[in-house]
Amino acid sequence: MLYDVGMVPIPFFEWRVIVIATIRDVAKLAGVSVSTISRYLNKSGYVNVETERSIKAAIEKLDYAPNQVARGLAGKKTNTIALILPDISNLFFSDLARAVEDVAATYGYTVILGNSDDQADKEKRYIETLKKKYIDGFIFASQTFSTEEAEMLTKLGIPFVCLDRGPSKENASVVRSKNKEGAKLAVQHLLDIGCRKIAHIYGPQQLITAKDRLIGFEESVHHSPWFTPTLLEAGDFRIHGGISATERLLERHPDIDGIFAGNDLMAIGALKALSRKGIKVGSDIAVCGFDGIQTTEIMTPELTTIAQPIYEMGAMISRLLIKKIEGALEEDLTYELDVKLLARESTLAFTPKVNQ
Amino acid sequence: MLYDVGMVPIPFFEWRVIVIATIRDVAKLAGVSVSTISRYLNKSGYVNVETERSIKAAIEKLDYAPNQVARGLAGKKTNTIALILPDISNLFFSDLARAVEDVAATYGYTVILGNSDDQADKEKRYIETLKKKYIDGFIFASQTFSTEEAEMLTKLGIPFVCLDRGPSKENASVVRSKNKEGAKLAVQHLLDIGCRKIAHIYGPQQLITAKDRLIGFEESVHHSPWFTPTLLEAGDFRIHGGISATERLLERHPDIDGIFAGNDLMAIGALKALSRKGIKVGSDIAVCGFDGIQTTEIMTPELTTIAQPIYEMGAMISRLLIKKIEGALEEDLTYELDVKLLARESTLAFTPKVNQ
DNA sequence: CTGAAAGCGCTTACAG
DNA sequence: CTGAAAGCGCTTACAG
């Protein structure tokens, strides 16, 4: 026999069991009904000052905290938002995620992370999973987001906001930055420092950001006597694409003295390709990127770039979503934030060739 | 008058309302009870093959998906885990987060992200918030995690696992890499290429990783005739700390020909400081980092580093947590993963000084 | 193999 | 200003 007579066997997991107070415990201790506690908690309806005091005391004493799952089920609100982005290990998006999380935490929201790899089916899977969890809203920073998905969310009454572009103009707030203007800033800067033959490495044209930057570049240069379309070269918004695009450009135009890359990663690739060829970036040729990711600062030479206000964009888009969730958003708009030239070594050290 | 007589006013939000099937709808359509549907869904208990067929059909027809919030409340399981890390915009942790999310998604779990900034109170706040949400488990990649918090989670029965170090040996699985051995690898490599006076920039000593790397360094060099404690210099695991540590080192020892930095960010700082002084990294002096973050590859010169298997660590720790949540983890252990020397330009181009 | 019932911990009208 | 009751959509014994 395992136990003495009269000994109560201890359930195996008893050490785990901890008493968590529920709203009923609080009600009992405070001597009021559960509804009153709920009203107090949610500030929905009147509660007598005296009653309030005893409720407060009871909550304190029991160390009570409302169960958010129960609240979610009853009230259809979970204080959770989802951030769907292509890849958190991409430097741009990790900066963005940080901002989103900061703002969300400030307003009492929790952030669920989803990596879509810009694949429509992955994204769809997240939406499916998360709507079953009563997520309060979505932030889409990924490019695959489609009109169809937008419609479904709209029908379900789940708010969402988008980075860079929305599925349509009507039903979503969008935060983006002035990509076209940024591209023009970049070209102007390169011209200012004395560049006379500038190439552009553009990103995937299904991305509106890449397209806008290309348009900005073309509008700035297409009247220049030196401009020819072969100064445009395609990249993939990643380092490797920047490297190979630069190699192709140099073959066609060994005399280019400026490169404007559609984003920082490709600009970093350009730096790499140039230094491999023994071309001195900064003095022989100027390079300018776009985005303003932190890494641009640690490159040698430090990379000139058109900086998007990444943190602000993340903060703004989450504030918009939260407003929308809480019914405080008047109207869906597209917000375009200013970009800023960060002129650094990769262009400032440039010395124009005498004979030009 | 706004509406014609007999016209039913359309509620403002009607276009939002969509019928979502519940388990009751499925039960009704399939002609069985709700419990049977639940049993079918959870594969808990017998269900007749015929019944099964009609249930399947009903689910299909209604496009039914179980409400996870209700399931969470009833079953105390939410299929959600939390990843608490110092800062997602830190390159190391964004790589890690990617791995965690990948594995979690594979097993049907959703990841909630929390940035602690290595501040105990922020971390505590996350734990408080998330336990109310019935989070299934925690991954702590942050250093502030305390024994007290561990005890609370243990009492609550919430599983957790840790990166790098646990609050104690007993109650948590820990994944880390061989930091001491890695440091030795680094030193050996520097000696192999001909360095004869090697400095070490160590990280914050409350971080076990920083400490282990320092110990490894000391064990490797303390018998060497050239070694003196002033070859050790404190850094903060960030770029800026690497810069200033390098400057201080060069003042004291202008003749050092190798630097082993306690992490990659500080090594990047060292590269920066050296190139500012006009010292040629790679040939005049060799630099080796630790971690293997992606950025090391894009530096000029490319940075030699002791790579931790970051992705594998993230994947492993989330698998451990999920196992633990599902009761399939036999025992809490500490797992030490192998590190690997990635020899690149910042050391391979080194030319030993003749006169030494 | 299946169903009725209670319960998870809240919120929300509704009545007083 | 407050309480009783129903309901959110599931799961889990228990009885058959």
Using one digit for the tens of pLDDT, what is the confidence trace for A14-35? 344 467 899 999 999 999 999 9
Find the closest chain B residue to A239 by CA distance: B298
Mean pLDDT, chain A, whole residue set: 89
What CATH fold (topology level) applies to the domain A77-177+310-337? Rossmann fold (3.40.50)
- Share above pLDDT 90 across residues of chain A, in percent, rounded to a whole number: 73
- What is the torsional sign of CA A127, A207, B102, A91? negative
Within 7 A of a protein CB, which nucleotides of strand D?
1-5, 7-13
Note the pLDDT of residue A14.
39
> Among all strands, which nt has the closest C1' to A36 (CA)?
D2
Q: Which of B13, B63, B68 to mutate to test the interface with A (most CBs of A within 10 A)?
A: B68
Instruction: Assess if CATH 3.40.1170.10 describes domain A14-66.
Output: no
Residues on chain B touching A20 (C-beta within 8 angstroms): 156
- Does pTM surpass 0.75? yes
A4, pLDDT greater than 50: no
Note the pLDDT of residue B8.
36
| Chain-chain contact of A133 with B112 (C-beta, under 8 angstroms) | no
Residues on chain A touching B97 (C-beta within 8 angstroms): 88-89, 94, 113
Q: Among B16, B69, B114, whose Cβ lies nearest the Cβ of A155? A: B16
Residue of A178, A73, A53, A93 lying closest to A133 (CA atoms): A73
A183, pLDDT greater than 50: yes
Please report which confidence band the pLDDT of residue A60 belongs to, taking 50, 70 and 90 as the band edges. very high
Give the helix/strand (H/E) hosting B150: helix B147-156
Q: Among A16, A69, A271, whose Cβ lies nearest the Cβ of B72? A: A69
User: Could you give phi then psi for residue A346, rounded to 5 degrees?
Assistant: -65, -10
| Chain-chain contact of B66 with A132 (C-beta, under 8 angstroms) | yes
| Chain-chain contact of B111 with A112 (C-beta, under 8 angstroms) | yes
A312, pLDDT greater than 70: yes
Find the closest chain B residue to A242 by CA distance: B298
Residue of B258, B248, B181 lying closest to B224 (CA atoms): B258
Beta bridge partners of B207: none
Note the pLDDT of residue A170.
66
Whether B14-66 and B77-177+310-337 share one fold: the answer is no
Note the pLDDT of residue B45.
80
Within 7 A of a protein CB, which nucleotides of strand C?
1-5, 7-13
Note the pLDDT of residue A213.
97
Please report which confidence band the pLDDT of residue A168 belongs to, taking 50, 70 and 90 as the band edges. low
Residues on chain B touching A16 (C-beta within 8 angstroms): 154-157
* CA–CA–CA angle A82, B91, B188 (5° rounding): 150
Q: Which of A88, A101, A265 to mutate to test the interface with B (most CBs of B within 10 A)?
A: A88
Q: Among B87, B110, B272, whose Cβ lies nearest the Cβ of A298? A: B272
Beta bridge partners of A281: A285
**Alpha-carbon separation of residue B134 from A84, B73, B101, B242 (angstroms):** 22, 8, 19, 41
> Among all strands, which nt has the closest C1' to A48 (CA)?
D1
What are the extents of the domains in chain B? 14-66, 77-177+310-337, 179-309+341-348
| Chain-chain contact of B272 with A129 (C-beta, under 8 angstroms) | no
Please report which confidence band the pLDDT of residue A145 belongs to, taking 50, 70 and 90 as the band edges. confident
Name the stretches of chain B with pLDDT < 50. 1-17, 356
Q: What is the rounded CA–CA span in Å between residue B281 and residue B212?
A: 26
CATH of domain B179-309+341-348: 3.40.50.2300
Determine contact, residues A159/A321, Cβ cutoff 8 Å.
yes
pLDDT single digits (tens) A222-281:
999 999 999 999 999 999 999 999 999 999 999 999 999 999 999 999 999 999 999 988
Note the pLDDT of residue B103.
97
Mean pLDDT within A34-54:
89
Give the helix/strand (H/E) hosting B124: helix B120-131
> Among all strands, which nt has the closest C1' to B73 (CA)?
C8
> Among all strands, which nt has the closest C1' to B27 (CA)?
C3
